[in-house]
Chains A and B, each alone.
Chain A
Amino acid sequence: MRNTLIFTTLFMVVLYIGACSKKVAILPEDTRGKSTVPVENTDAKMKSPVIVTRDKTAQAVETQDYQFRDIYFDYDRYELKSETIEILSEHARQLKENQNVKVLIEGHCDEWGTIEYNLALGERRSNSVKSFLVKYGISPDRLSTISYGKERPLDPEHNASAWAKNRRAALVTGS
């Protein structure tokens, strides 16, 4: 009797673990109107990815040792958040001090959303960054934008952390 009870309990535990291990990707929470901090900003110290380009003049050039960190966005959003405005202001200061540097602002999206819609959303994100820099006083001639939609994710995984990293604008510098 006692053994049966133990066995049944173990069996239920095993079933429970088995049920929990099936991970299904679930739509990220819509945070419209809520301010969120980007998840796991572990890439902050990493260089912005260099786009593979046939145009040899657009080589990535680091402005001394300054890292142009990615600007993150909320799910389905393209507005700048208060935390990212601080980072972007720092980027703007750097650009003001180094007038010869040009920037290509890439807009990227997570995998939620269609290919075509995300191309437009990515463009909105890069344009948000460009508008901010122009308002800051950077000449628009130094700024160009491109959207990659969801075609070039930084993190190919299918979880909230990867999606947060992929919802970004990246600043790629050249001269």
Chain B
Amino acid sequence: MKSTSFIFNLLVLCLTMLTDSSGQNDVYMRVQSEKYQPVYLYIKPLQSKDRPELARQLQNYIISDLEKTRFFKIILTPDPDKILLNDSASTADFGGLQTISQAYFEGQLEWSQNSVALRGTLQGLPERYLIFTQKYTSPQASIRWMAHRIADDIVLQLTGQPGIASTQILFINKSKNLALMDTDGDNIRQITNNKSLNMSPCWSPAGDKVAFISYIKNNPELIIMNLENKETSKLSKQKATYSSPIWSPDGKKIAFTLIKDGNSDIYVMDNQGNNLKRLTDNSSIDTSPSWSPTGREIAFTSDRSGSPQIYIMDSNGQNVHRLTYETNYSDSPVWSPKGELVAFVAREKTGFHIYSIDVNGENLRCLTDGRGSNENPSWSPDGSKLTFASNRNGNWNIYIINSDGSGLSQISTTGANTSPKWSPRLSREVAKG
């Protein structure tokens, strides 16, 4: 029974790819399809007589960020007048928008005492018409951060969506405190210091607040912290254990798990901690809610069938239906930002592996392999990548993988680091930290 449905799913997948009848014109899905045409980006090597090494570093950071998107074919071009245009590149296709297929970027560097300025210019080819020009300034110690901003702006101009190089990853560090880091693992900073056990962090949709569970008073409480001034407020008012908070996409509500008298169920409340509504009501463990990007549905884990599996319900608790059947033990669902996939973990002999599945239950994909356990996946805001924690190399550390399972990279080394959560796209002030 299982193998026939698997073959059927495979046939459906192949047919879909051949006919391209899918209504999902997302950029990242195009990357996966064979028809994808990358943008040919010609970059003039950054030059500096005074500081050639820093110029080279900055160039490498920018190129690294651009290459991680998999949108570009990058060609270093010392002389823009001698660019041999690629004939086969017609127009790149990003979500149905006809856009630039070949572009040229150059940066002029200016150094002062402790800072650096880069005047970046992006031109469309072959006419070399101006797409955008922008001056970026930065302390010399932060050129990596400047590279992220530059790369994100180039991605915005050439694909219509801002890049994710300047987003952040929130996680729990070795001392069980909340911490932040850049998506390349740089710039780690701890943001709580309450000498207690903290867990289950999550971002507000605007990226200005985080919610988390803290055992400050020897009892798991739900805390909200403003990232700018680090002020905290307690949202847990019931005498019970709070767990796995998650903001709704419009920021008005928070879904969470409430565990009382041994029973674990999913609730929702407004962002002030009022108007508590119970969404699940049975004796099974119901936990780990995740909102769909429309806010109309919630995916969650329930062991009502005997072992934990992923379920989906309407955001008012109605119409509960099961999503996962092919994996024996499934947990930690996270809805993709574009709404068509749910990533989750499924337990196997040596630990958990990360999977994704279409929201209609088809096309189960295993994204990780190898030793150890991989837990707590979280999507990048453009849906192109996932971050997760893994103990595959001994200690628990944070990893990033492309949504098709390729490009695994380890981004933290100071383990034990767990529970990563990818930020939304952030305003520049919030991102600086």
Contact = CB atoms under 8 A, between A and B. Distances in A.
Interface of A: 24-27, 51, 53-55, 58, 78, 112-117, 119-121, 123-124, 126-128, 131, 146-149, 151-152
B244 interface: yes
27 contacts: A25-B350, A26-B350, A27-B347, A78-B262, A113-B347, A114-B301, A115-B200, A116-B200, A116-B243, A116-B257, A116-B287, A117-B308, A117-B331, A119-B220, A119-B241, A119-B259, A119-B287, A120-B259, A120-B285, A123-B259, A123-B264, A127-B261, A146-B218, A146-B219, A147-B220, A147-B241, A151-B197
Interface in B369-383: 371, 375-376
A124 B199 contact: no
B349 interface: yes
Nearest to B264: A120
B217 interface: yes
Most buried by B among A58, A116, A123, A147: A116
B288 interface: yes
Contacts of B348: 27
B351 interface: yes
Interface of B: 176, 196-197, 199-200, 216-220, 241, 243-244, 257, 259, 261-262, 264, 285, 287-288, 301, 303, 308, 331-332, 345, 347-352, 371, 375-376, 418-419
B262 A123 contact: yes
Contact of A124 (B197, B262, B332): B262
Most buried by B among A53, A123, A152: A123
A149 B331 CA distance: 15
B320 to A, nearest CB: 18
B241 A123 contact: yes
Most buried by A among B262, B331, B349, B350: B262
B371 A24 contact: yes
Query: Closest 9 interchain pairs by CB?
Result: A127-B262, A120-B264, A120-B285, A123-B259, A124-B262, A116-B244, A114-B331, A116-B288, A53-B218
Contact of B350 (A24, A78, A120, A151): A24
B69 to A, nearest CB: 30
Contacts of A55: 217-218
Nearest to B244: A116
A26 B243 CA distance: 28
A117 B217 CA distance: 22
Contacts of B376: 114-115
Contact of A116 (B262, B332, B347, B371): B332
Contact of A114 (B176, B220, B332): B332
A151 B176 contact: yes
Contact of B375 (A24, A114, A123): A114
Nearest to A111: B373
Contacts of B375: 114-115
